[in-house]
Amino acid sequence: MKLGLTIFLTLLTLWVISHFHELFNPVVSITQDSVPLPVGRSIPNADFLSLTLPISETEIKNAVFSGDSSSSAGPDGFNFHFYKTGWHIIGPSLCKAIQSFFIKGYIPSGIKATALFLIPKTSHVNTISDFRPISLCNTLYKIISKILANRLKCFMPHIIDMAQAGFIKHRISTDNVILASELLRFFKKCTKVPYMCAKLDIKKAFDSLSRDFLFQRMAQKGIPPIFIKWVKACITGVNFSIFMDGQLEGYIPSSVGLRQGCPLSPYLFCIAMDALSSLLDNVNGDFTFQPVNIKGFKISHLLYADDVLVFGQANVRNCNILNSILQRFALSSGLKVNPAKSTIILQDNYPFGKDICDILNIHNVGNSLSYLGIPISINRTRLSHFSPLLDVISNRLSGWKAKSLSFPGRLQFLKFTIWNTIAYWIRGAIIPKSICKQMAKLSAKFLYFGNIDSRKLHMVSWANTCKPKEKGGLGIPNFHAIRYAFDCSLILRLYQTRSPLSDWFFMIHCSSWKPHSPSSSAMWKSICLTATKAKPNFFFKVTDNSPISLLWDHWYNGLHIQDIPDFESYTSICSVNARLDSLIANGNWNFPSICSDNFKNVVSPIPIVCGDRRHCISWGANDRQKFHCFMMDFYKTEAEVNWYKAVWHKHSALRFSIYAWLCFVGGLKTTDALQKRNIYVNPMCVFCQCNAESVSHLFFECDYTFSIITSLIPAISSFLLRPNLFQISDYLINCGDSTSGTSEVKFLTLWAAVYYLWRERNERKFVHHFKSQTTVQLLIKKAVDLKLKRWKNY
């Protein structure tokens, strides 16, 4: 039996090694096109000079210390933590070694050696293709590639087509999702010219890219030969070993592909995929691909790394051109479309649908698809489209790992895992209210009970839980606040950065302050509603290249043009969608003769900022464009509680502060709170058996608890009458700065006492286990001392 298992594992290992050997060394040679591919966007060669500047020690050190200390190590076993902690010893030698590479352009193969870690894509894997190979590179190699990546990424926005949203600064993936959804809505309105949308899956994209093709594209873009030489030294001559059963197996050479795990790979892949953008947008007479054209807005495709959406006219001739483009791209780059995983959307009752599917060899046809994980549809999205989101949330909240978490652990799990998933969907789509209610219900059950299937008593409403800590909540944002914040962020991005999405919205809608039409999308209606609510926070500066609307935006010192004297003299003849830059020429005001002198005299003193479009709009007078500011603006009408700094001070312990918060918001299930809800239990305090139990009595009007707290914080004994928790908190807040070290220690002690006394109360009530005052007091002191030892400078 044991011998048979050993033989099986050996054969399995050999088969896996053989599979990746074939993947990284394809037999079919990739042909270079005799006619060069279109270059696409580029900049003059002189602008690339900073790519080849000498490498300084500061640049090397920044690359080292910007690395994640907890990242996985490569085959040599050293991660960034090793290089950071040993920098004072190995720093000079490391700098010399890296500078030597940039002089000689050579890396030993041992440094480029890579370990492949196979991660399953699903919970049930059946074939080797169900695993995603992640490359674990040596950290020394990562430092070199990070330096190259840091230099290259500054130029990416200038040489990569705007349709590519992956890994490019100021480009957001969900902007592509929003634009794709908006375009599909218009398909039904375009009755004269039928359109199609094809989602193309690139087979083994990173693993099958031709390196020769990549170097050729880099040269076409004007990247200096010396930089291409450095990149070539990094990505060629790479050998792979595979993690199998806890050890590295094989030593596989490679002739194609990029490593998922190399800091340089995402940028190089975008350069390669830009060739597809150039082919789709290339004007080539009768062989030009006809894109979507809606009211003058033309777009042929959207990209996020290897996720491709193609938009175009749905006719046989156009699909033949598209098929030729894809074949030419595949022959040159090695990147082939996988028809089995591709999908196409056509307008309803389109007669030539089968012909188009046969030409493209794509037979998955529908009226909706999932793009970057978010559903988009030619029809209105239904509740069923959001069932994957509910399934993901339910599975994560009901998993065994989640069930083992404490109350503070569940709070952190919600804020940093569950809410990140929900926020991504909110950023790219309008989630139906019923779905939001279900997710809120699941989240509330999970947070307070640890079980999404149970039905128990809620002491604190979810609406009060989902507030900022300053407003008396736990810092979990609600769905409306996230939607509001993302809308504010999107409005700023539309004005500040040109993108396909901004071009679309300004072409179709002109301004977010222009009244929307009843037929507008739910996304645009949400944006307009947020723009109206947040209008006082948006400040415009007149620039010579911004999309500011002449009529609808409040560019005139916070006012609209209607507030300018004699504005009718010009607006009577201008277009409803006219832009402000129509009055600007060469950085100066250029008024038409129709404008009155009064109008000119009022407007001409407004300064015009030349250059960067990013300065045309800002959030607040100080340009504080932070997500936290948007969230706080949503809650601006909520009253601020006076105790939040005491509960959530800088050095607070989460497990103690949460129970303090429960006391302040009435979240503890004391007998008086249960009786108010018609649940009758023994009302007497379990500590003194003399008085009815309540939060005020437990903390700290009871003899038992008051004795403990006065031994921990002697100043409390000076009260004329016995104080409760709220009075003690007010006293400590008013005694001094709640953020000072001494006050923080007192608050930490106070909340630790609340935590341990509540635990003792529950043990006495439900387990019949009793501890003396001295024991509880020692537990509290020990917990506080352990926390204080971790404080810096205390």
Mean pLDDT of 707-725: 91
In this structure, the number of other CB atoms found within 10 A of the CB of residue 597 comes to 10
pLDDT of residue 45: 79
- Position 742 confidence tier, pLDDT thresholds 50, 70, 90: confident
Q: What angle do CA 613, 619, 623 make, to 5 degrees?
A: 75
Is the pLDDT confidence value at 565 over 80?
no
Judged by DSSP in three states, 369 sits in: strand
pLDDT of residue 399: 81
pLDDT of residue 611: 73
Mean pLDDT of the chain: 90
User: What DSSP string describes 389-406?
Assistant: HHHHHHHHHHSHHHHT--
Q: State what percent of residues in the chain have pLDDT above 90.
A: 66
User: What DSSP string describes 103-171?
Assistant: HH----HHHH-EEEEEEESSSS--SGGGEEEEEEE-HHHHHHHHHHHHHHTTTHHHHS-TTB-SS-TT-
Phi first, then psi: what are they for 456, rounded to 5°? -135, 175
pLDDT of residue 305: 87
- Position 467 confidence tier, pLDDT thresholds 50, 70, 90: very high
Residue type for position 143: I
Is the pLDDT confidence value at 556 over 80?
yes
* Pairing status of strand 239-244 against strand 114-120: parallel
For 629-639, letters b (16+ CB in 10 Å) and e give ebbbbbbeeee
Strand boundaries in 153-238, DSSP class E:
195-201
pLDDT of residue 569: 59
Is the pLDDT confidence value at 739 over 60?
no
Place of tokens 């209607």: 562
Mean pLDDT of 174-185: 95
Is the pLDDT confidence value at 161 over 80?
yes
Place of tokens 């997500």: 627
Structure tokens at 95: 């700098």
Q: State what percent of residues in the chain have pLDDT above 70.
A: 96
Paired strand residues for 686: none
Structure tokens at 242: 């595979």
Q: What is the pLDDT of residues 310-368, one digit of tens each?
A: 999 999 999 999 999 999 999 999 999 999 999 999 987 788 888 999 999 999 998 99
Place of tokens 């031994």: 711
Is the pLDDT confidence value at 139 over 80?
yes
pLDDT of residue 362: 93
Query: Contact at 8 Å (CB) between 314 and 350?
Result: yes
pLDDT of residue 451: 87
Judged by DSSP in three states, 300 sits in: coil
**299-303, 714-718, 762-766: lowest mean pLDDT where?**
714-718
Q: What is the pLDDT of residues 254-298, one digit of tens each?
A: 999 999 889 999 999 999 999 999 999 998 877 899 999 998 899
Is the pLDDT confidence value at 3 over 90?
no
Structure tokens at 119: 């991660």
pLDDT of residue 507: 92
Judged by DSSP in three states, 609 sits in: strand
Phi first, then psi: what are they for 318, rounded to 5°? -65, -35
Phi first, then psi: what are they for 370, rounded to 5°? -105, 120
Paired strand residues for 200: 308
Query: Contact at 8 Å (CB) between 154 and 91?
Result: no
Q: What is the pLDDT of residues 573-614, one digit of tens each?
A: 577 888 888 888 888 888 887 777 887 888 888 888 887 788
